[in-house]
Structure 1
Amino acid sequence: MPQSNLSSRILIADDHPLTREGLALAARAASQGVSVDTAGSVNEALSMVSERSSYRLILLDLVLPDAHGFSGLMQLQHAAKATPVAMISAKEEAPLVEAARALGAAGFLYKTRPLDVLVGEIREILAGNCVFAHVPGSGSAAGLSRRIASLSSAQLKVLVALADGRLNKQIAGDLALSEATVKSHLSAIFRKLGVVNRAQALLAVQPLLGGQVAGGVSA
């Protein structure tokens, strides 16, 4: 039975026109007859998801002007429900891959890979598989990767929300938690990261956040 028009669509969210064009080409090569929509920001992607209701796959750039680290991933996962969301990045860093996996992304793909490799990876995700490129960790990056892996999914979501500049009350509302639960998660996060406060936590996970955090802390 042929797929419906909606279920044969892929959404690409990237703020660079040439990158969007290349990813669209890879997506069409990965699945015959697929239609591709493009967005230049997380908010634009959210609007498209709201209008179309269903996509087979969302390819999301890690670094967008209206997102910090993985906040865009979490927003699109919430809005798109069961639609797989795969991250696309030029950053080949083990902590980023580990965090994407822990947050439930369908994959972490590299913009630097040849077109035929991207086509194969997108095809794998469309077939229901997860694709995470292996990046050997070393030194502090490997240590951060292990610490990220030790966080529960709920703790990682709280950390990402914290990095987006949200206060405990806002985090609690956004994640449907009590403020007491948020504080408990933060205490566990600080302990696992080996830090004692919010500022130290944000500095410790800058690689996770793509070098950007709300409030002016940057690499």
Structure 2
Amino acid sequence: MAAGNVAPDAHIVEAATLDRAVAASAASDLLLILLDLKMPGSAGFSGVALLHAERPSVPILVVSSAEAQVAAPEARRYGAVGFIGKDQDLSVIEDAIAAALAGDHPAPAILIHDEIDAMAGKVASLTPTQLRVLLGVLDGQLNKQIAWELGVAESTIKSHMTTVLAKLGVQNRTQAALAARALGLGADR
């Protein structure tokens, strides 16, 4: 893999699903995340948002066959530092990895220029648990189902949902789901 050429001493961990990627992101020596948008368990940019929420200081490079002009700005909205098309030459991929490892990328701060960027900034401000609750809502789950999946009390989910609604500036679960879907969180890409 290209990372081996850029950082020969790097320990590379491959994760076949988003859940495994989240588990692998807990490593204390994690320096970089390369993430495929179509990873099983991820819909749209939810994987980027979740991994960024879990490890905000670790740069994320999205590697995808999606159209770069559309997907790259979206990925940045959720915390990625860059985008690499799967059709790129190896040297381009290596350069992108080297730049990300060197910290040579724009700060992941979200620039809010319009309503979409503003809502993306709000979603990016959610904690990992709040984002999981929102993703559960996107899947059509009830609070009880989300609570069971996360291994917490239903009252905890209700509390998180109240906070999610407040952070997103919406009145109910339907509005939260519509806002998140409009941002591509629930869409398969």
- Mapping for residues 1-219 of structure 1, pairs under 5 Å: 24=1, 26-32=2-8, 41-42=16-17, 46=20, 58-69=33-44, 72=47, 74=50, 86-88=60-62, 89=64, 90=68, 91-94=71-74, 96-99=75-78, 101=79, 107-112=80-85, 116=91, 118-123=93-98, 126=101, 137-210=112-185, 212=187
Which structure 2 residue ranges, 5 or more long, are not aligned? none
Decide which structure has greater strand share: 1
Q: CA deviation at 1:145?
A: 2.9
Which structure 1 residue ranges, 5 or more long, are not aligned? 1-23, 102-106, 214-218
TM-score using structure 2 length: 0.60
Provide, for residues 21-80 of structure 1, a one-character-per-residue CA deviation record: whole Å limited to 9, x for no partner. Answer: xxx3x32332236686767x527x839x89xx99875522123354224555659x99xx
- Contact 1:159/1:189 (<8 A) preserved: yes
Q: 1:157 to 1:130 in 2, by over 3 A?
A: farther
Q: CA deviation at 1:157?
A: 3.1
Say which structure, 1 or 2, has more relative contact order (CA 8 Å, 6+ apart): 2
The residue type paired with residue 131 of structure 2 is: L
Q: 1:69 to 1:97 in 2, by over 3 A?
A: same
Provide, for residues 155-183 of structure 1, a one-character-per-residue CA deviation record: whole Å limited to 9, x for no partner. Answer: 23321333244332232234343211211
CA RMSD of aligned residues (A): 4.4
Q: 1:192 to 1:67 in 2, by over 3 A?
A: same
SS in 1 for 2:181: coil
The residue type paired with residue 176 of structure 2 is: A
Q: CA deviation at 1:121?
A: 4.1
SS in 2 for 1:206: helix
Q: 1:147 to 1:27 in 2, by over 3 A?
A: same
